[in-house]
């Protein structure tokens, strides 16, 4: 049976839905195999907390361990500065997606467009729409992945709807550990 | 050799309709434009502001060849691809919006012609001579009577038919052409809205040529529940004004409360400052469910489609007053009034009554009779806590919430006696009622939320209609020079995603001396927050169309006065002829009028066409995050796109490299990011150094406030010369520019897109 996203506004009407992945090592493999991954971080990361640790801190660890450039959307840059780091680029979600759909774009490090785009922390209806843009208009040159605790049908790879935050936290910690080990 | 073009029969007919022989201005190249006439302008816009499509769905389901999978480069059975399908859906949405307003205009016009005659003169007051800037620009007609407005609305109807035709199976195959058609439909929307509001102003004697309209009460506590209550919902004031007339004529106005929701509420307060505004669209279901309304009168647009069902639950009575929404009710228009009253009172029946006078009389009589028996009241805190205890926080309510609110947490906290989270969630609630419907334990969430609803009342200024010509004369120069940093239009629906957002943005930019205009539900929610001294933005800031003013223009159809104000700047201040001269007006607005629309809560098709109409006129629009579900934006890619303009003084094309305005239709994720984007989207190539420096000052200071300090990543693109640098950031910005090797460039003397693309408009037409 097809996975239903947590928020019903994101229910897929169509054919091709995301591959659901619960194994953090599989996610780590996808990330490590990518030549030019990109982490797109949204403002909810400053609101979500897992046992007192902000979700943005997990995101920064993932970026650091796998040397993934960060695109900070909305006001995420402010939070990153507060945490003592800087993003590689600052665009709003719709703007970075607009660049990503062009295969000739040179990416945030000017080394060529990205081949794996990891979304994390954008309001789920908007994140799903951004994923839809790339699913339909960038499917030839990149794949998408999400780290939020919900299922996103328009992504290529998505986490399930985690019923408990502990499961999500466990996944993120394992992912970080796998990236550290491999890196 | 001069080429004299022979007029076609169609052109002769147009010239006759617009009375071309009356020489108030020469007739421009596109009077009563049809689909292809402004296509070149659209294509030029779309070259820089390319459509960004986020399909809601992989499929096309519009004909029985389908469903067709359009994903991954596939085409449907008719040959259509996914981008073109999105553009087609957008055109359909814009046509729905355009026809809603045009039909509203057409209906109100019929009603008022019946009442006053077709020869009723259009008089917009002492300070408004340019009474219909959209109509004059698009149609080429200077309307003098209500009858002239009929000519205009018939033109709009005709174009809607042609546009809708193009969405049929097997027609348009280009997404760009569909977008051009959507832009056309949406331009026509502004014409239809202008017809509607001019007719209302003239026919109902709404305020005009005045800024200081009365402050009126808003909030459900403003309604005196001890009296019979008539609730008006929708957009069309034919009914509400007739109810007030009836109450006045029968000396009942002190005994009956007239309250409204959505734009009808705004319209009613333009007619009587004693009418009450319950609130925006999002408060509709809440209020109906309280049962306080004895009689609910619906008209059109943005009304609950389950109104009779909800009314039945609380013993309210419904009168459907317009043919757009008759709910399957019996049409009692030709019945004896007393018989309708009897059946509504005794048999608790609802009816459709399409004659406003009869509907008004019935509503008052029924409300007076049933109000004493009304046993409805707000739920108590203790009752709410008991009801909330049933909730197991299973999460189903969150799953179905369009605003993604975790309502279960709010309810379980409330069950413990903590109301704070629920109060916060009530402010975010868009009032759809899906949570109530889906709760597996039938927890009455909406009823419980009543205890979280603020019992405050607020002050909102009644809608004032068109911006006065005299105001345009005063602000034309500072706007186009940039010393008034921008004209903002907060438009569109409701409190999506949070009720405080619009008020906070209005406050911020009025303080910064932007001109802030508002319409519709956005105008209401702006007044639903109190700042210093317990005052709303309408009490804190002057009502003038001037720097630092907060101006409630009116209802949804009053949006035409905002686009009209932009056109007035080009015509009155810059003295450019507007008659049948849309391209010149739009080009002027795009390049020289620092205006920006903010449709923060936009969710309806009408909001889609209002926004897209602003886009064709060269006004960028910022949308809230949920509006990514409109599935189309117009975005540039900053320095990678074509920012060439013609310098009309030098008659040469200049590559400015300056992305101003950067986007035409853009979604911001948060209110804070929108506030950083607003000053940027008000930048225009025409800014003087002083004006640019003021605009950059706001851009940088808001960036620093919300983005963690530093300078905007793209700031160098907007600094032309050292004189553009704001004084307060001189040291920091100069150092940064030196570091990145920035080079100064000459500002363009008279920037225009005319001359950069194929157009019937000669370059001389933009030189004033």
Q: How high is the ipTM of this complex?
A: 0.97
Mean pLDDT of A73-99: 96
B723 close to A (CB below 8 A): no
Distances (CA, A) of B601 to B282, B486, B628: 10, 21, 12
Residue B495 has a pLDDT of 72
Distance from CA of A40 to the nearest CA of B (A): 13
Residue contact A135–B71, C-beta within 8 A: yes
Residue B161 burial by Cβ neighbours in a 10 Å radius (0-12, 13-18, 19+):
exposed
Structure tokens at B599: 């449709």
Q: Report the distance separating Cα B655 and Cα B642, nearest Å.
A: 8
The single residue listed with the structure tokens 């394992």 is A174
- Residue closest to B98 by CA, chosen among B38, B61, B153, B147: B153
Residue B2 has a pLDDT of 52
Nearest 5 degrees, angle CA B347-CA B348-CA B353? 105
The CATH classification number of B9-204 equals 1.20.1270
Highest mean pLDDT among B172-181, B425-434, B743-752: B172-181
Distance from CA of A182 to the nearest CA of B (A): 33
Residue contact B399–A6, C-beta within 8 A: yes
Residue B274 has a pLDDT of 86
Distances (CA, A) of B234 to A22, B38, B194, B428, B648: 48, 33, 18, 22, 47
pLDDT at A1 over 60: no
Residue contact B669–A7, C-beta within 8 A: no
The single residue listed with the structure tokens 């040469």 is B652
Q: With beta carbons less than 8 A apart as the criterion, state whether B450 and B384 touch.
A: yes
In 10 A of CB A43, how many CB atoms? 23
Percent share of chain B, pLDDT over 90: 93
Distance from CA of B405 to the nearest CA of A (A): 10
Q: How does residue B497 score in pLDDT terms, banded at 50, 70 and 90? A: confident
B409 close to A (CB below 8 A): no
What would you report as the CA-atom Rg of chain A, rounded to the nearest whole angstrom?
15
Distance from CA of A150 to the nearest CA of B (A): 11
Q: Strand A53-54 to strand A49-50: parallel, antiparallel, or no bridges (unpaired)?
A: antiparallel
- Residue closest to A100 by CA, chosen among A153, A39, A58, A154: A39
SS3 per residue for chain A: CCCCCCCHHHCCCCCCCCEECCCHHHHHHHHHHCCCEEEEECHHHHCCEECCEEHHHHHHHHHHHHCCCEEECCCHHHHHHHCCCCCCEECCHHHHHHHHCCCCCCCCCCCCCCCEEEEECCCHHHHHHHHHHHHHHCCCCCEEEECCCCCCCCCCEECCCCCCHHHHHHHHHHHHHHHHHHC
Judging contacts by C-beta atoms under 8 Å, the chain B residues touching residue A16 are 58, 71-72
Q: Report the distance separating Cα B608 and Cα B614, nearest Å.
A: 10
Q: Which helix (H) or strand (E) holds B411?
A: helix B407-415
In 10 A of CB B740, how many CB atoms? 8
Give residue-wise pLDDT tens across range B104-139.
Answer: 999 999 999 999 999 999 999 999 999 999 999 999
- Cross-strand partners of B229: B257
A42 close to B (CB below 8 A): yes
What would you report as the CA-atom Rg of chain B, rounded to the nearest whole angstrom?
26
Residue contact A125–B54, C-beta within 8 A: no
- Residue closest to A133 by CA, chosen among A154, A104, A151, A103: A154
pLDDT at A2 over 90: no
SS3 per residue for B483-543: CCCCEEEECCCCCCCCCHHHHHHHHHHHHCCCEEEEEHHHHHHHCCCCCHHHCCHHHHCCC
- Residue closest to A121 by CA, chosen among A75, A177, A183, A175: A75
Mean pLDDT of B452-456: 85
DSSP alpha helix (H) spans, B76-142: 82-116, 133-138
Residue contact B59–A79, C-beta within 8 A: no
Q: Report the distance separating Cα B41 and Cα B46, nearest Å.
A: 9
Give residue-wise pLDDT tens across range B261-284.
Answer: 999 999 999 999 889 999 999 999
Please give the CATH topology (third level) of the domain spanning B464-752.
Answer: Rossmann fold (3.40.50)
Spatial CB neighbours of B687, under 8 Å, sequence gap ≥ 6: B481, B482, B594, B695, B747
Q: With beta carbons less than 8 A apart as the criterion, state whether B288 and B258 touch.
A: no
Structure tokens at B70: 């359009």
Residue B496 has a pLDDT of 78
Structure tokens at B430: 């868009």
Residue B474 has a pLDDT of 96
Mean pLDDT of B335-353: 98
Q: How does residue B220 score in pLDDT terms, banded at 50, 70 and 90? A: confident
Distance from CA of A89 to the nearest CA of B (A): 8
Residue B638 has a pLDDT of 82
pLDDT at B98 over 90: yes
pLDDT at A183 over 90: no
Sheet holding B621-623, edge to edge: B50-53, B632-635, B665-667, B621-623, B595-599, B487-490, B515-519, B550-554
Residue A120 burial by Cβ neighbours in a 10 Å radius (0-12, 13-18, 19+):
buried
Residue B6 has a pLDDT of 79
CA dihedral (B654, B655, B660, B665) positive or negative: positive
Phi, psi (deg, nearest 5) at residue A73 = -100, 170
- Residue closest to B370 by CA, chosen among B308, B285, B299, B292: B292
SS3 per residue for B5-19: CCCCHHHHHHHHHCC
Q: How does residue B3 score in pLDDT terms, banded at 50, 70 and 90? A: low
Nearest 5 degrees, angle CA A146-CA A149-CA A154? 40
Q: What is the DSSP string of B720-758?
A: -SGGGS-GGGHHHHHHHHHHTT----PPPSSEESTTSS-
- 3-class SS of residue B296: strand
A126 close to B (CB below 8 A): yes
Q: Strand B652-655 to strand B621-623: parallel, antiparallel, or no bridges (unpaired)?
A: unpaired
> B464-752: same fold as B9-204?
no
Domain map (residue ranges) of chain B:
9-204, 220-373, 383-449, 464-752
Q: Which helix (H) or strand (E) holds B434?
A: helix B434-438
- 3-class SS of residue B191: helix
Q: With beta carbons less than 8 A apart as the criterion, state whether B594 and B618 touch.
A: no
**Quick one: DSSP state of residue B570?**
I
Q: How does residue A3 score in pLDDT terms, banded at 50, 70 and 90? A: confident
Q: Report the distance separating Cα A40 and Cα A96, nearest Å.
A: 8
Percent share of chain B, pLDDT over 70: 99
Phi, psi (deg, nearest 5) at residue A134 = -75, -35
The single residue listed with the structure tokens 């000053």 is B679
Stronger pLDDT, B737 or B1, i.e. the higher one: B737
Spatial CB neighbours of B382, under 8 Å, sequence gap ≥ 6: none
- 3-class SS of residue B632: strand
Mean pLDDT of B458-466: 96
Judging contacts by C-beta atoms under 8 Å, the chain A residues touching residue B497 are 123
Structure tokens at B331: 């049409």
Note the residue count of chain A: 183
CATH architecture group of domain B220-373 = 3-Layer(aba) Sandwich (3.40)
Structure tokens at B407: 């309502």
Distance from CA of B443 to the nearest CA of A (A): 20
Mean pLDDT of A56-60: 98
Residue contact B53–A137, C-beta within 8 A: yes
Residue A69 burial by Cβ neighbours in a 10 Å radius (0-12, 13-18, 19+):
middle
pLDDT at B482 over 90: no
Mean pLDDT of B662-683: 98
- Residue closest to B400 by CA, chosen among A160, A10, A149: A10
**What torsion, rounded to 10 degrees, do the Cα atoms B217, B222, B225, B231 define?**
50
Q: How does residue A181 score in pLDDT terms, banded at 50, 70 and 90? A: low
Domains delineated in chain A: 23-140 (3.40.50.1220)
Which residues, numbered 31 to 50 in chain B, qualify as contacts with chain A under a Cβ-Cβ cut-off of 8 Å? Answer: none
Judging contacts by C-beta atoms under 8 Å, the chain A residues touching residue B628 are 94, 125-126, 129-130
Residue contact A81–B710, C-beta within 8 A: yes
Average pLDDT, chain B: 95
Phi, psi (deg, nearest 5) at residue B741 = 75, 30
Q: How does residue A105 score in pLDDT terms, banded at 50, 70 and 90? A: very high
A81 close to B (CB below 8 A): yes
A111 close to B (CB below 8 A): no
Q: How does residue B430 score in pLDDT terms, banded at 50, 70 and 90? A: very high
Judging contacts by C-beta atoms under 8 Å, the chain B residues touching residue A43 are 669-670, 673
């Amino acid at each position: 049976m097809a996975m239903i996203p947590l928020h019903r506004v994101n229910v897929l009407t169509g054919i091709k839905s995301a591959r659901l992945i619960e194994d953090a090592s599989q996610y780590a493999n996808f990330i490590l195999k990518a030549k030019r991954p990109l982490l797109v971080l949204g403002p909810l990361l400053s609101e979500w907390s897992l046992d007192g640790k902000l979700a943005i801190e997990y995101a920064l660890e993932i970026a650091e361990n796998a040397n993934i450039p960060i695109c900070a959307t909305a006001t995420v840059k402010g939070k990153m500065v507060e945490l003592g780091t800087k993003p590689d680029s600052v665009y709003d979600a719709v703007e970075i997606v607009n660049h990503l759909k062009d295969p000739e774009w040179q990416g945030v490090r000017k080394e060529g467009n990205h081949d794996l785009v990891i979304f994390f922390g954008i309001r789920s209806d908007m994140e799903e729409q951004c994923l839809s843009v790339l699913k339909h208009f960038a499917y030839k040159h990149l794949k998408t992945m999400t780290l939020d605790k919900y299922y996103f049908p328009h992504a290529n790879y998505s986490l399930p709807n985690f019923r408990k935050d502990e499961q999500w936290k466990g996944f993120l910690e394992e992912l970080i550990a796998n990236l550290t080990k491999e890196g | 050799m001069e080429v004299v073009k022979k007029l076609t029969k169609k052109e002769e007919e147009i010239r006759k309709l617009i009375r071309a022989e009356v020489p108030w201005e020469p007739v421009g190249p596109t009077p009563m434009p049809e689909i292809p006439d402004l296509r070149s302008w659209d294509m030029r816009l779309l070259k820089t502001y390319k459509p960004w499509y986020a399909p809601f769905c992989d499929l096309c389901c519009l004909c029985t060849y389908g469903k067709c999978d359009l994903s991954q480069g596939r085409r449907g059975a008719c040959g259509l691809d996914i981008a073109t399908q999105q553009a087609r859906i957008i055109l359909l949405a814009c046509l729905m919006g355009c026809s809603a307003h045009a039909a509203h205009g057409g209906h109100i016009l019929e009603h008022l012609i019946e009442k006053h005659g077709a020869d009723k003169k259009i008089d917009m007051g002492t300070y408004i001579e340019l009474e219909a800037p959209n109509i004059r620009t698009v149609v080429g007609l200077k309307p003098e009577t209500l009858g002239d407005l009929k000519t205009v609305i018939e033109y709009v109807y005709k174009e809607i038919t042609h546009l809708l035709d193009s969405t049929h199976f097997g027609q348009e195959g280009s997404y760009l052409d569909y977008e051009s058609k959507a832009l056309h439909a949406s331009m026509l929307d502004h014409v239809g809205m202008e017809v509607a509001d001019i007719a209302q102003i003239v026919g109902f004697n709404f305020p005009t040529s005045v800024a200081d309209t009365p402050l009126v009460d808003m909030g459900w506590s403003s309604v005196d529940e001890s009296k019979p209550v008539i609730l008006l919902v929708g957009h069309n004031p034919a009914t509400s004004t007739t109810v007030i007339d009836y109450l006045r004529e029968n000396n009942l106005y002190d005994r009956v409360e007239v309250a409204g929701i959505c734009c009808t509420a705004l319209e009613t307060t333009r007619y009587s400052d004693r009418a009450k505004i319950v609130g925006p669209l999002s408060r509709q279901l809440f209020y109906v469910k309280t049962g306080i309304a004895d009689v609910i009168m619906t008209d059109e647009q943005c009304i609950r489609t389950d109104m009779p069902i909800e009314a039945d639950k609380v013993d309210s009575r419904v009168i459907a007053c317009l043919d757009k929404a008759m709910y399957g009710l019996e049409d009692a228009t030709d019945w004896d009034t007393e018989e309708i009253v009897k059946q509504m009172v005794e048999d608790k029946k609802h009816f459709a009554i399409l004659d406003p006078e009869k509907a008004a009389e019935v509503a008052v009589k029924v409300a007076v009779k049933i109000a004493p028996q009304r046993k409805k009241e707000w739920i108590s805190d203790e009752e709410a806590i008991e009801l909330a205890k049933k909730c197991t926080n299973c999460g189903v309510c969150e799953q179905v919430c369009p605003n993604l609110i975790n309502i279960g947490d709010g309810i379980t906290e409330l069950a413990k006696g903590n109301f704070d989270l629920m109060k916060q969630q009530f402010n975010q609630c868009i009032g759809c009622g899906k949570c109530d419907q889906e709760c597996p334990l039938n927890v009455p969430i909406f009823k419980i939320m009543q205890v979280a609803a603020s019992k405050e009342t607020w002050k909102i200024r009644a809608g004032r209609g068109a911006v006065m010509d005299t105001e345009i004369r005063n602000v034309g120069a500072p706007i186009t020079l940039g010393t008034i940093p921008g004209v903002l239009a907060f438009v569109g629906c409701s409190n999506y995603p949070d009720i405080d957002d619009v008020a906070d943005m209005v406050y911020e930019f009025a303080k910064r001396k932007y001109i802030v205009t508002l319409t519709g539900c956005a105008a209401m929610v702006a007044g639903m927050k109190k700042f210093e001294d317990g005052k709303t933005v309408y009490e804190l800031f002057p009502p003038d169309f001037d720097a630092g003013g907060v101006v409630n223009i009116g209802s949804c159809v009053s949006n035409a006065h905002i686009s009209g104000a932009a056109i007035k700047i080009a015509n009155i201040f810059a003295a450019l002829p507007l008659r049948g001269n849309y391209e010149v007006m739009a080009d002027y607005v795009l390049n020289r009028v620092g205006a920006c629309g903010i449709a923060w809560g936009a969710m309806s098709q009408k909001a889609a066409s209002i926004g897209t109409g602003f886009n064709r006129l060269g006004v960028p629009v910022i949308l809230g995050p949920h509006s990514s579900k409109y599935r189309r934006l117009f975005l540039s890619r900053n320095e990678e796109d074509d920012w060439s303009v013609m310098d009309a003084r030098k008659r040469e094309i200049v590559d400015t490299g300056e992305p101003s305005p950067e986007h035409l239709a853009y979604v911001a994720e948060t209110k804070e990011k929108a506030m950083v984007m607003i000053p940027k989207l008000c930048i225009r190539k025409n800014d003087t150094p002083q004006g640019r420096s003021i605009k950059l000052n706001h851009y940088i200071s808001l960036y620093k406030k919300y983005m963690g300090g530093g300078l905007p990543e793209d700031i160098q693109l907007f600094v032309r010369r050292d004189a553009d640098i704001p004084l307060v950031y001189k040291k920091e910005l100069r150092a940064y520019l030196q570091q990145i090797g920035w080079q100064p460039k000459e500002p363009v003397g008279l920037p225009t897109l005319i001359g950069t693309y194929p157009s019937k408009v000669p370059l001389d037409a933009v030189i004033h």
